[in-house]
Amino acid sequence: MTLLTGALGAPTYAALQARVLGLSHLHAPQALVVAAGLNIAGFNGGIALDALLGARVWKGWA
């Protein structure tokens, strides 16, 4: 399962990063670094939110 998650997650993240940078290049070429940083921050925020929700669900089952 870990290998499958990595095999699907890495290309998906790379495609999303490319899309965000492409849109940033069209709309705000001077802000490429900001767009990349916000994309990574959103990714990390999703991980944190999943951890919080997972703990909440686990606590409810226990």
Q: What is the 3-state secondary structure (H, E, C) of 45-62?
A: HHHHHHHHHHHHHHHHHC
When mean pLDDT is compared across 11-15, 20-24, 48-52, 58-62, the lowest value belongs to: 58-62
**pLDDT beyond 70 at 62:** no
Instruction: Give the range of the structural domain holding residue 13, as residue numbers without chain letter.
Output: 2-61
For the entire predicted model, the pTM comes to: 0.64
How many domains are contained in the chain?
1
Tokens coding 13: 């993240």
Mean confidence (pLDDT) of the chain: 87
